[in-house]
Amino acid sequence: MTGALGLDADEVRGVLVAAGLAPSLNNAQPWRFRVERDRIEVHADPARRLPATDPDDRELRLACGAALFGIRLALRAHGIRPLVTLLPGPEYPGALAVVRRGGSQALDDRTRALIAAMPARRTNREPFRDAPVPVAHRQALVHAAERERSWLHVVTDRDERALVHRLVAKAHGVQAADPAVRAEMAAWTADGGVRDEWVLRDSHAAERPPGEDHGSAPLTVVLSSFYDGPQAGLQSGQALQRVLLTATALGLAASFLSQPIEVRPVRDELRRALGGGLVPQAVLRVGFGSPVPPAPRRPVEDLLCDTGLSTRP
Ligand SMILES: Cc1cc2nc3c(=O)[nH]c(=O)nc-3n(C[C@H](O)[C@H](O)[C@H](O)COP(=O)(O)O)c2cc1C
């Protein structure tokens, strides 16, 4: 491993480890990095695409954007101001993003809290506790998305929540009938049943009696971009990770309801339900969760582009 951006090899390794803590659909970890003296490039790992579940690489770009946010934070921990170019063009073949050194920047308390949250963040895998999310926490999550030029819609209306969860169930039905999606999930996840279990549990949550909606536990939120396309996906991935880390720093946990994002006609329905202008990128539930063990991560050596500098002799 070489040094980069003024960091030595061990520090660069730490930056890549931090990036690799990002969430990804089926924990596929579909990112790779190229390290050069003056930059770190983020690439997709084509061997880790999920063509049946994510045919347009939409969620792959979300995950790579989340990993990019990890690089940004890890550089901030070293006092470096990261300078990011999304989709930098043919000069950097295949790169989704390039990160350079944009000078020095002192660490503020909020960023420090996000850095501390990186190793602690987990996707919640147990029922949420029945404790409402305080309004101030909700506002912090919305603000986190705004900081990354994205929009976090908090579903507080009972009918709207029921609609979102109907769309989850509908998309789940489509995917459950698709052997390619089922095979992909079985191949990538240890138990293959995590999503099914969550869909049912969350659909039941939509049937709660009225009166529980305001500050209900957990919240249903939709992260959206203002436009569509690969750049919006990378932007939303950074927003996703900022929202998730903000949640972690506040003692909250989140889980994903990705089915209505993955099934295109259902995504269109969700988009129309949100007013048509915004592009839904992720549906999350956020609340107070239970401790979850860390999901396995790839060793740093496997995260380097083949054609890039290698840690191997
Ligand atoms: C774009 C995206 C979509 C995801 N969709 C789901 C999902 O539908 N169901 C689920 O249980 N987890 C989903 N996850 C969470 C991943 O399974 C999780 O990030 C991965 O297993 C690593 O675990 P961790 O987040 O606890 O580190 C998704 C994550 C991302 C980034």
Model pLDDT for residues 241-256, shown as the tens digit of each residue: 999 999 999 999 999 9
Tell whether 149 is covered by a domain.
yes
Q: Whose CA is nearest to atom 4 of ligand 1?
A: 25
Tell whether 80 is covered by a domain.
yes
Residue pair 236/65 in contact (Cβ under 8 Å)? The answer is yes
Of the residues 91, 122, 153, the one at which a domain ends:
122
| CB of 256 closer than 6 angstroms to any ligand 1 atom | yes
Mean pLDDT score across all residues of the chain: 91
How far apart CA 109 and CA 270 sit, in angstroms, is: 36
pLDDT at position 100 is: 98
Indicate if 141 and 266 belong to the same structural domain. Answer: yes
pLDDT at position 139 is: 98
pLDDT at position 2 is: 86
| Position 213 confidence tier, pLDDT thresholds 50, 70, 90 | very low
Tell whether 130 is covered by a domain.
no
Of the residues 73, 94, 122, the one at which a domain ends:
122
SS (H, E, C) 250-288: CCCEEEECCHHHHCHHHHHHHHHHCCCCCEEEEEEEEEC
Q: How many residues are recorded in the chain?
A: 313
Tell how far the Cα of 143 is from the centroid of ligand 1, in angstroms. 22
Indicate if 143 and 107 belong to the same structural domain. Answer: no
Q: How many domains does the chain have?
A: 2
pLDDT at position 55 is: 96
Tell whether 128 is covered by a domain.
no
CATH value at residue 49: 3.40.109.10
Residue pair 81/105 in contact (Cβ under 8 Å)? The answer is yes
Check whether the bond before 90 is cis (ω within 30° of 0): no
Q: Whose CA is nearest to atom 11 of ligand 1?
A: 195
pLDDT at position 224 is: 98
Indicate if 155 and 281 belong to the same structural domain. Answer: yes
Indicate if 93 and 230 belong to the same structural domain. Answer: no
Tell how far the Cα of 22 is from the centroid of ligand 1, in angstroms. 10
Indicate if 282 and 143 belong to the same structural domain. Answer: yes
Residue pair 165/205 in contact (Cβ under 8 Å)? The answer is yes
How far apart CA 182 and CA 192 sit, in angstroms, is: 8
Residue pair 67/20 in contact (Cβ under 8 Å)? The answer is yes
Q: Which domain holds residue 270?
A: 135-287
**pLDDT tens-digit readout, 174-198:** 999 999 999 999 899 865 445 645 5
Indicate if 243 and 187 belong to the same structural domain. Answer: yes
Indicate if 154 and 63 belong to the same structural domain. Answer: no
| CB of 63 closer than 6 angstroms to any ligand 1 atom | yes
For residue 201 the two structure tokens come to: 């549990």
pLDDT at position 197 is: 56
Given ligand 1 and candidates 31, 56, 123, which is best to mutate, with the most ligand atoms within 8 Å of its CB?
123
What is the value of pTM for the model shown?
Answer: 0.94
Sheet (strand 253-256) strand order:
151-155, 219-225, 279-287, 253-256
Tell how far the Cα of 194 is from the centroid of ligand 1, in angstroms. 10
Residue pair 19/70 in contact (Cβ under 8 Å)? The answer is yes
Sheet (strand 95-104) strand order:
31-36, 39-44, 95-104, 80-86
pLDDT at position 111 is: 98
Give me the mean pLDDT over the 225-245 stretch: 98
Helices within the chain (DSSP H only):
9-19, 58-77, 109-117, 135-147, 158-176, 179-188, 194-205, 230-249, 259-262, 264-273
Indicate if 269 and 174 belong to the same structural domain. Answer: yes
Indicate if 253 and 185 belong to the same structural domain. Answer: yes
**pLDDT tens-digit readout, 20-79:** 999 999 999 999 999 999 999 999 999 999 999 999 999 999 999 999 999 999 999 999
Indicate if 79 and 144 belong to the same structural domain. Answer: no
pLDDT at position 199 is: 46
How far apart CA 131 and CA 279 sit, in angstroms, is: 30
Tell how far the Cα of 272 is from the centroid of ligand 1, in angstroms. 25
Residue pair 52/75 in contact (Cβ under 8 Å)? The answer is no
3-state class (DSSP) for residue 29: coil
Tell how far the Cα of 156 is from the centroid of ligand 1, in angstroms. 23
**Under 8 Å CB-to-CB from 41, ≥6 apart: which residues?**
33, 34, 35, 88, 92, 95, 97, 98, 99, 305, 308
Indicate if 248 and 147 belong to the same structural domain. Answer: yes
